[in-house]
Amino acid sequence: MIPDDGEMIDGAIHVIPTPSRVRIQEGFFALSAGMRILVDQASPDLECVAAWLARKLSTVCGFGLSPAVTSEERGPPGGILFSSKDANAALGPEGYELDVDPEGIRVSASTSAGAFYATQTLRQLLPPEIEKRERVADSQQWVIPAVRIHDAPRFAWRGMLLDCCRHFMSTEFIKRYIDLLAYYKMNRFHWHLTEDQGWRIEIAEYPELTRVGAWRAQADGIRYGGYYTKSEIREVVEYASRRHVTVVPEIEMPGHALAALASYPELSCSGGPFEVALDWGVFEDVFCAGNDATFVFLEQVLSEVMELFPGQYIHVGGDECPKDRWQSCPRCQTRIAAEGLRDESALQSYFIKRIAAFLERKGRKLIGWDEILEGGLAPCATVQSWRGTNGAVEAAKLGHDALLSPTSHSYFDFDLSRIDLRQVYSFDPIPKELKGRECEHILGGDCNMWTERAPQDTVDQKVFPRLTAMAECLWSEVDNKDFSDFHHRLQHHYERLRELGVDYGAEFAETAV
Complete DSSP assignment for 2-56: PBGGGPPP-TT---SSPPSEEEEEEEEEE--TT--EEEETT-GGGHHHHHHHHHH
464 located within any domain: yes
Residues 171 and 245 in one domain: yes
Note the pLDDT of residue 12.
62
SS (HEC) of 309-352:
CCCCEEEEECCCCCCHHHHHCHHHHHHHHHCCCCCHHHHHHHHH
Residues 142 and 235 in one domain: no
196 located within any domain: yes
Residues 305 and 408 in one domain: yes
User: In 3-state terms, what secondary structure has residue 486?
Assistant: helix
The pTM of this model reads 0.96
Residues 45 and 192 in one domain: no
Note the pLDDT of residue 4.
43
The count of domains in the chain is 2
Q: What type of residue is 12?
A: A
194 located within any domain: yes
For residues 272 and 12, which has the higher predicted lDDT (pLDDT)? 272
451 located within any domain: yes
Average pLDDT over residues 235-259: 98
137 has pLDDT over 90: no
309 located within any domain: yes
Nearest to 166 by CA among 222, 236, 118, 214: 214
CB-count exposure of residue 40 (10 Å: 0-12, 13-18, 19+)? buried
Nearest to 370 by CA among 347, 401, 335, 415: 401
Residues 133 and 187 in one domain: no
Nearest 5°: phi and psi at 397? -70, -20
Note the pLDDT of residue 513.
54
Looking at the chain, the whole-number percentage of residues with pLDDT higher than 70 is 96
pLDDT band at residue 2 under the 50/70/90 scheme: very low
Average pLDDT over residues 47-70: 94
18 located within any domain: yes
pLDDT band at residue 71 under the 50/70/90 scheme: confident
Give 84-121 pLDDT, tens digit per residue.
999 999 999 999 999 999 999 999 999 999 999 999 99
The domain in which residue 64 lies consists of 4-151
Average pLDDT over residues 24-35: 93
Nearest to 382 by CA among 439, 315, 433, 446: 315
Strands 79-83 and 194-195: unpaired
How far the first Cα of the chain sits from its last, in Å, is 31
Residues 37 and 180 in one domain: no
306 located within any domain: yes
Residues 336 and 200 in one domain: yes
Note the pLDDT of residue 1.
43
420 has pLDDT over 70: yes
DSSP state of 137: P
CA distance linking residue 160 with residue 466, whole number of Å:
11
512 has pLDDT over 80: no
Q: What is the mean pLDDT of the chain?
A: 95
447 has pLDDT over 80: yes
Nearest to 107 by CA among 50, 161, 51, 164: 50
497 located within any domain: no
pLDDT band at residue 395 under the 50/70/90 scheme: very high
* Cβ(351)–Cβ(297) below 8 Å: no
Note the pLDDT of residue 141.
92
Residues 238 and 370 in one domain: yes
Cross-strand pairs, 81: 38, 106
Here the CATH number for the domain that contains residue 424 is 3.20.20.80
Here the CATH number for the domain that contains residue 110 is 3.30.379.10
Least confident range from 114-123, 131-140, 206-215, 472-481: namely 131-140
* Cβ(315)–Cβ(248) below 8 Å: yes
Cis check: omega of the bond before 465, within 30 degrees of 0? yes
Residues 136 and 273 in one domain: no
From 125, 151, 177, give the residue that closes a domain: 151
Cross-strand pairs, 369: 384
Nearest 5°: phi and psi at 21? -140, 140
From 151, 173, 202, give the residue that closes a domain: 151
* Cβ(472)–Cβ(486) below 8 Å: yes
CA distance linking residue 370 with residue 317, whole number of Å:
9
Residues 56 and 192 in one domain: no
Nearest to 226 by CA among 166, 161, 301: 166
Residues 239 and 145 in one domain: no
From 100, 134, 151, give the residue that closes a domain: 151
pLDDT band at residue 77 under the 50/70/90 scheme: confident
Average pLDDT over residues 320-341: 98
Note the pLDDT of residue 218.
86
pLDDT band at residue 211 under the 50/70/90 scheme: very high
Strands 246-253 and 223-225: unpaired
Give 166-185 pLDDT, tens digit per residue.
999 999 999 999 999 999 99
Residues 319 and 451 in one domain: yes
